[in-house]
Amino acid sequence: MLPLFHPLMQRLDSDFDIDQDDVGFESQDKDIIPAKHAYEVDFTVYSPEEIQGHQDKQIAEVSNILGQPPEATAILLRHARWNKERLIDQYMEKTDEVLERAGLGDTADAHPPRLERIPGFVCDICCEDDADLDTFAMICGHRFCVDCYKQYLQTKIKNEGEAARIRCPGDGCNRIVDSKSLDLLVSANLKDRYQELLTRTYVDDKDHLRWCPAPNCVYAVDCRIKDKDLMRIVPTVHCECSHFFCFGCSLNDHQPAPCSLVKKWLKKCEDDSETANWISANTKECPKCHSTIEKNGGCNHMTCRKCRNEFCWMCMGVWSEHGTSWYNCNRFEEKSGHEARDAQARSRQSLERYLHYYNRYANHEQSAKLDKDIFLKTEKKMTQLQNTTGMSWIEVQFLDSASQALQQCRQTLKWTYAFAYYLARNNLTEIFEDNQKDLEMAVENLSEMFEKPIDQLQGLKVEMMDKTAYCTKRRIILLDDTAQNLKEGKSLVRSLVLVTCTNQPLGQWKFNVTLP
Amino acid sequence: MFASKRLGKELQKLHDHVPPGIKLIKADDFQEWLMDIQVIDANPLYQGETYRLKFMFSGNYPIEAPEVVFVKDDAHPIPWHPHVYSNGIICLDLLDRQGWSPVHNVESVCVSLQSMLTSNTKKERPPGDDNFVRYNTQRPRDINFVFHDNQV
Ligand SMILES: [Zn+2]
Ligand SMILES: [Zn+2]
Ligand SMILES: [Zn+2]
Ligand SMILES: [Zn+2]
Ligand SMILES: [Zn+2]
Ligand SMILES: [Zn+2]
C-alpha cells in the first residue's frame, strides 16, 4: 500500500457531536490524528445515514429548547438554513414572526391551506377564467389556479432542484411555500424527490460540509477550512468512494495549485483552446520522417515505427540527448529581451510560453488516462500469466500500486505546470522546478517500465516497487515544500502583480497575476 | 401546450392594444417572437432609434422565463446600457430564474426594458464586454449573472 494519508485513519466516532459546530470543534481536535504533511488537511467523510443522524439529533435538541414538535422544528431549521443559534435567538425574541415566516403561524393553524373557487377569478399565469377553476393562495394572497401552482412547484422541484425555499410565484413576493401547502399541491410521484432535496439542503447550507462530486456518490465531507485560507491551502480530501477532490472548489485534486489559480488557468485554456488544440491532439509527426505517430502509452519516450527514430514526445527532441537530463524538457527557457522588444515577437513569445506549459499540462492529463488503459489491459494479461506461471494475484498487485502512483503523480505534475505558468522567477521557483523535474523523471522511468511486455514484468517487480515508492516520495516532497511556502507566503501572495520586478523577497511565492 | 395556451392569449391582447413605443413584429409560432421597442421620452442616448427584441419560449413558459436578447441588423442597433452586452445579451434579474415570476409576460418584459433604457444616462457596456462577447458560448439562460445593482 502506498504510504498515503487515509481518511479512515481520522474518521471520528459516528456519534460525532456536530451540534457543537463552531464552538465545539476545538474539543474534537484531540480525536483527530493530526495531518502529517503541510499539504494535508483534516477532514471527515460521512455516510447518508450519518448525515441524517446529525440532522435528527439537531432537530431533537432544538425541538426541546423551543418546545415545538420535531416536524415543525425541522421546518424552522431548514428555513433558518440550519443556523441553530440564530433560529433560537430569533425565536426567543419574536416567536410569532418566526413561526409566521416559516408558514407555521397561528393563521396557518386557523386556515390550513385549501383550494378555493372564487367568482370572477382570472389566473395571472394561464389567463383562464372558468367559473369552476380551483385556485390556491398562501397568506400573501397571490392567487393562481391550482394547475399553474402545481406546474410551478413541479418545475422548481424537478428541474431546478429547489425544495426548502421555493418562493411564491407572485411577482416580487418573498413568501416561502410552506411544507403544508407543498403537501397539498405536490403530486405523490414528486414527494420522494422533494424529501431527498430537503435532506440535501442540510449539507448545502453548512459551509463546512460538501457532497462528494463523484457521480452517484452519496457521501459528504466535513472540512473546516475557511474561504479566506484557500489562497494558501489547497484542501484535497479523499472520499470513501476513493475520489480525491478539492474541498474548496469540488474539482478533482489540483494540488499544488490554489483554487483561484486553477480557475484562472482553466479559463485561459478554454479561451485559448483553438490555438492550443493542435498541441493536445493525440497524434504528432515524427520529427525525422514525418510519418504520423499516435501515442499509445503514458511514456514520453517515443520510437517511430517507420524510421526507428527515438524522440521525446514533449519537446520532439532526440531522446538520446536527454534520456537522463529531463531538465531540458520541463523548463521553458525565457528568451532574451532582444527579441522581445518587438511587439509581435512578444505576443508570439507569450503564446509560446503558454503553449510550453499547456503542452506539458495536457500531456500529463492525457498520459494519466492512457496509463489507466494500460493497467486494465495488463490486469487481463496478468490473469493469463497467473494461470501459466503460478504467480498469485497478490504477487501481481505491485502493478496496481504502480498504476495508482503513476496516475496520482501525473495528476500532480499536471497542476505543477499550471502553477508554474503563473510563477514569477525567483529562487523558490528554481527549487520548485527542480522538484518538478525530479518527480517527472521518476514518473517517466516508472511509466516506461510499465509498458514493457508482460513476460518482462515479472522480472521487473522489485525495481518497479522501488520506483513506485520513489515516485510517491518525490510527490510528497514537492507537495510538502510547495504547501509550506504557500502557507508562509500568505500576506504577500494576495497583493502581487508584477512579472518583471527583480528584487523579489526570498522564501515566498511570487505570482505574475493578481490573486484574490 | 402550457406555453401555447398562454401565448395565444397574450397574442390576442397584443393585437388589441400595445403600450406606446412597443410593436409586435413577428409571432408566427409559440417558440420565437420579435418585438420592437423605442424609448419614448427625450433620452438623447436612444433618440430616433428602434431596437429589436427576440423572445424565445420553452414549452413551460411562463413558469420558466423566456430568453430575451436584442438582435442587431441594419435598421436595429444594440442599445447602449451597462447591462446590455454588445452581442445583445441582457443582464437583467427580471429575466433570471431567481427574479422571474410567471406573472410577467411579453408586454411587461418590453415595458421593463423600455424603462430600463429610459432611466439610463451612461453610454456604456457592461464591464468585460469584449471578452464576454468573444468567448461566451452559453445560451443566455445558462449564464449566471451576478446582479451587482438592483436599480434596473
Ligand atoms: Zn392558471
Ligand atoms: Zn405571494
Ligand atoms: Zn465520493
Ligand atoms: Zn480547489
Ligand atoms: Zn520516423
Ligand atoms: Zn524532451
Task: Give the pLDDT confidence of A335-379 residue by residue, as tens digits.
Answer: 433 333 344 445 556 777 888 888 899 889 888 777 667 667 767
Buried b (16+ CB within 10 A) or exposed e, A313-340: bbbeeeeeebeeebeebbbbeeeeeeee
What Rg do the C-alpha atoms of chain A give, in angstroms? Answer: 29
Contacts of A48 (CB under 8 A, 6+ apart): A199, A218, A219
Would A171 be classed as within a structural domain?
yes
Is the CB of A148 less than 8 angstroms away from the CB of B5? no
Is the pLDDT at A216 greater than 70, yes or no?
yes
Would A310 be classed as within a structural domain?
yes
Would A273 be classed as within a structural domain?
no
Both A108 and A144 in one domain: the answer is: yes
Would B141 be classed as within a structural domain?
no
- The per-residue pLDDT for A140 is 86
Is the pLDDT at A124 greater than 60, yes or no?
yes
Contacts of A319 (CB under 8 A, 6+ apart): A301, A302, A310, A311, A312
Number of domains in chain B: 1
Is the pLDDT at A18 greater than 60, yes or no?
no
Cα atoms found within 13 Å of the Cα of residue B120, Cβ hemisphere only: 22
Is the CB of B62 less than 8 angstroms away from the CB of A151? no
- Name beta bridge partners: B23: B36
* Amino acid making up residue A492: L
- The per-residue pLDDT for A180 is 80
CA A211 – CA A202 distance, rounded (Å): 11
Higher pLDDT: A237 or A338? It is A237
The residue whose grid cell reads 518587438 is A342
CA A212 – CA A390 distance, rounded (Å): 40
CA A400 – CA A382 distance, rounded (Å): 11
Higher pLDDT: B19 or A10? It is B19
Both A63 and A156 in one domain: the answer is: yes
* Boundaries of domain holding A404: 357-511
Is the CB of A171 less than 8 angstroms away from the CB of B101? yes
Task: Give the pLDDT confidence of A63-119 residue by residue, as tens digits.
Answer: 999 999 888 898 899 888 899 999 999 999 999 889 888 877 766 666 778 899 999
- Residue A361 three-state SS: helix
Both A159 and A228 in one domain: the answer is: no
Q: Which residues of B have a catalytic role annotated?
A: 91
Both A173 and A318 in one domain: the answer is: no
Q: What is the pLDDT confidence band of residue A3, given thresholds at 50, 70 and 90?
A: very low
Would A374 be classed as within a structural domain?
yes
Q: Is A443 exposed, middle or buried (0-12, 13-18, 19+ CB in 10 A)?
A: buried
Q: At B43, which CATH number?
A: 3.10.110.10
CA A296 – CA A303 distance, rounded (Å): 11
* Alpha carbon of B75: minimum distance to chain A alpha carbons (Å): 32
- The per-residue pLDDT for A502 is 32
Is the pLDDT at A499 greater than 50, yes or no?
no
Both A187 and A54 in one domain: the answer is: yes
Is the pLDDT at A46 greater than 50, yes or no?
yes
Both A126 and A224 in one domain: the answer is: no
Is the pLDDT at A196 greater than 90, yes or no?
no
Both A242 and A291 in one domain: the answer is: no
Would B146 be classed as within a structural domain?
no
Whether the Cβ atoms of residue B9 and residue B84 lie closer than 8 Å to each other: no
Read off the pLDDT of each residue in A475-494 and give the average, rounded to a whole number. 74
CA–CA distances in Å: residue A373 to residues A51, A368, A380, B124: 36, 9, 11, 53
Both A506 and A448 in one domain: the answer is: yes
Would A128 be classed as within a structural domain?
yes
Read off the pLDDT of each residue in A8-22 and give the average, rounded to a whole number. 36
- The per-residue pLDDT for A75 is 86
Q: At A72, which CATH number?
A: 3.30.40.10
Q: Which ligand is nearest to the CA of A313?
A: 6
Q: Is the torsion defined by CA of A258, A264, A269, A275 positive or negative?
A: negative
Is the pLDDT at A312 greater than 60, yes or no?
yes
- The per-residue pLDDT for A391 is 78
- A7 touches B at CB < 8 Å: no
Would B43 be classed as within a structural domain?
yes
Average pLDDT, chain A: 77
Would B148 be classed as within a structural domain?
no
Would A221 be classed as within a structural domain?
yes
* Alpha carbon of B133: minimum distance to chain A alpha carbons (Å): 12
DSSP string, A237-281: EE-TTS-EEETTT-SB--TTS-HHHHHHHHHHHHHTHHHHHHHHS
Residue A318 DSSP label: B
Would B147 be classed as within a structural domain?
no
Read off the pLDDT of each residue in A225-252 and give the average, rounded to a whole number. 91
- B6 touches A at CB < 8 Å: yes
Q: What is the ipTM metric for this complex?
A: 0.82
Both A299 and A161 in one domain: the answer is: no
Outline where DSSP puts E strands in A301-372: 301-303, 310-312
Both A54 and A200 in one domain: the answer is: yes
- The per-residue pLDDT for B152 is 35
Both A385 and A309 in one domain: the answer is: no
Q: Is B49 exposed, middle or buried (0-12, 13-18, 19+ CB in 10 A)?
A: middle
Q: Which ligand is nearest to the CA of A314?
A: 6
Would B75 be classed as within a structural domain?
yes
Q: Which residues of chain B neighbour A271 with C-beta distances below 8 Å?
A: 131, 135
Higher pLDDT: A385 or A234? It is A234
Is the pLDDT at A22 greater than 70, yes or no?
no
Q: What is the pLDDT confidence band of residue A282, given thresholds at 50, 70 and 90?
A: very low
Interface of A with B in 211-270 (CB under 8 A): 270
- B72 touches A at CB < 8 Å: no
Closest by alpha carbon to A238, among A257, A253, A255?
A253
Whether the Cβ atoms of residue A84 and residue A62 lie closer than 8 Å to each other: yes
CA B25 – CA B33 distance, rounded (Å): 8
Number of domains in chain A: 4
pTM (predicted TM-score): 0.63
Q: What is the pLDDT confidence band of residue A42, given thresholds at 50, 70 and 90?
A: very high
Q: What is the pLDDT confidence band of residue A295, given thresholds at 50, 70 and 90?
A: low
Q: At A467, which CATH number?
A: 1.20.120.1750
> Over chain B (152 residues), what is each successive 10-residue block's mean pLDDT?
89 93 94 95 91 95 94 94 90 83 95 93 84 67 49 36
Ramachandran sector of residue A161 (left: φ over 0; alpha: ψ -120 to 50; beta: rest): left
Task: Give the pLDDT confidence of A410-464 residue by residue, as tens digits.
Answer: 999 999 999 998 887 777 888 899 999 999 999 999 989 888 887 888 888 899 9
* Boundaries of domain holding B65: 3-136
Both A194 and A90 in one domain: the answer is: yes
Would A164 be classed as within a structural domain?
yes
Would B19 be classed as within a structural domain?
yes
Is the CB of A126 less than 8 angstroms away from the CB of B103? no
Q: What is the pLDDT confidence band of residue A400, given thresholds at 50, 70 and 90?
A: confident
Would B15 be classed as within a structural domain?
yes
CA–CA distances in Å: residue A322 to residues A332, B7, B147: 15, 70, 54
